[in-house]
Amino acid sequence: MDFTFTEEQEMFRKAAREFAEVKLTPWVAEMEASGKVCDAVVKALAEAEMMAVTIPEEYGGLGLGYMARMIALEEISRISVATAMMLQVFALGIEPIVKFGNDAQKSKYLPGMATGERLSTTAVTEPTGGSDPTGGRTTYRKDGDHYIINGRKCFITNAHIADTLTILAKDEADPKAFTTFLIEKDMPGFKATHEENKIGMRGCNTGELSFEDLRVSKGQIVGAEGKGLRVAMAAIGDVGRGGMVGCAIGLQAACLEASLKFAKERILYGKPISQLQSIQNKLAEMKIDLDAGRLLAYRAAFLQDKGQNASNEFAVAKYFTTEAAQKAAKMAVDIHGGYGCMVEYPVTRYLRDAFVLGPSAGTSDIMKIIVARWVLS
């Protein structure tokens, strides 16, 4: 395996870092205070063509692939985990169309998604439990050439800003058959309802969706009828989990950088605390976890770019990096002493953001189940 990034990838990282530092930093405080998506941030992401990264060039995308996406998410998350989360879920909405959509769906949806005029998401989770998507109660029934959908989704990223949503529903007549549908926000019977108030990732929207006798045509099915679990899980397994990994390693890097800065500046006993062994141990652990997390992330993205299934590798990476980000955020707060409890220090935000990384796209318990299945197979 070659661990060297291409010249194009190095340039992309440089551009993504500069974009995040210059265009996102000014909005972080406002997003934290309001707990809302900032329109200027969505506009900046669109202008920087961040939504276009995984979309094929023939549909107006950049076609740069999944390693480039990982790099972009890492750099954006280093400045704003909330923004990286929002961006990662746009791609989660894009993926089912790229991988399973027909030509008409690709031509209709992807160009607008690439420019950022059409925002997207994928909605699987329901109040009956996200870890078991088969327990969902959103159903569809056939009505001639149409389908009538009824139900509810919860904890959906971009719920209130998405124009196009891929949703999973089960056949009323056969609870084992699931189908994924493309929904547009102005379809009668569709509503984004409750908006969550989260402890972290506050600049990213999370909320509930309701479907009341929502009537859609056959042309809105993504993939084959009755095979929707495969479509939804393929998107969540590689793109959703890969996205969370990008968010997590960016946050790990931010924790290490803030800790290094503070440890070099804070003087105790007449010298910087960076000279204390217990502080050095924490910095070393953060660096070891960051390097390990990056390697796991890049291994999975490398396989994904080769067109291989990387769901197991992403489960390993998702478990490791989100747990490591939580550990790094706690160590960063600890290194800051009393200052680590004061909101003007970014480490307080990192700690809150780190805990939101856990459940999104599957909890650590679920990642361990996937990994155990892998080693036992």
Ligand X SMILES: Cc1cc2nc3c(=O)[nH]c(=O)nc-3n(C[C@H](O)[C@H](O)[C@H](O)COP(=O)(O)OP(=O)(O)OC[C@H]3O[C@@H](n4cnc5c(N)ncnc54)[C@H](O)[C@@H]3O)c2cc1C
Summarize as ranges the residues that interact with ligand X (CB under 6 A).
Answer: 89, 121-125, 129-131, 155-157, 206, 356, 359-363, 365-366, 369
User: Among residues 19 and 238, whose Cβ is nearest to ligand X?
Assistant: 238
What's the closest the beta carbon of residue 157 comes to ligand X, in angstroms?
4
Residue 148: strand, helix, or coil: strand
Most distant CA atoms of the chain, gap in Å: 80
User: Among residues 321 and 360, whose Cβ is nearest to ligand X?
Assistant: 360
What's the closest the beta carbon of residue 192 comes to ligand X, in angstroms?
12
Whether residue 305 contacts residue 66, with contact meaning beta carbons closer than 8 Å, is answered with yes
Under 8 Å CB-to-CB from 166, ≥6 apart: which residues?
A: 93, 96, 97, 120, 121, 122, 123, 180, 181, 182, 183, 222, 231, 232, 235
Q: Give the residue nearest to ligand X (CB).
A: 130
Residue with tokens 């291989």: 308
Q: Cα 307 to chain center, whole Å?
A: 20
Query: Alpha-carbon distance 377 to 372, whole Å?
Result: 8
What's the closest the beta carbon of residue 132 comes to ligand X, in angstroms?
6
User: Rg for the chain (alpha carbons), in Å?
Assistant: 21
Nearest partner of 213 among 166, 167, 149, judged by Cα: 149
User: Among residues 235 and 328, whose Cβ is nearest to ligand X?
Assistant: 235
User: Among residues 152 and 336, whose Cβ is nearest to ligand X?
Assistant: 152
User: Among residues 77 and 206, whose Cβ is nearest to ligand X?
Assistant: 206
The DSSP result for 34-49, as a single string, is H-S--HHHHHHHHHTT
**Bridge partners for 152 per DSSP:** 210
User: Among residues 276 and 369, whose Cβ is nearest to ligand X?
Assistant: 369
What's the closest the beta carbon of residue 143 comes to ligand X, in angstroms?
26
What's the closest the beta carbon of residue 241 comes to ligand X, in angstroms?
10
Query: Alpha-carbon distance 191 to 211, whole Å?
Result: 7
What's the closest the beta carbon of residue 320 comes to ligand X, in angstroms?
16
What's the closest the beta carbon of residue 3 comes to ligand X, in angstroms?
31
User: Among residues 105 and 180, whose Cβ is nearest to ligand X?
Assistant: 180
The DSSP result for 210-264, as a single string, is EEEEEEEEGGGEESSTTBHHHHHHHIIIIIIHHHHHHHHHHHHHHHHHHHHHHHH
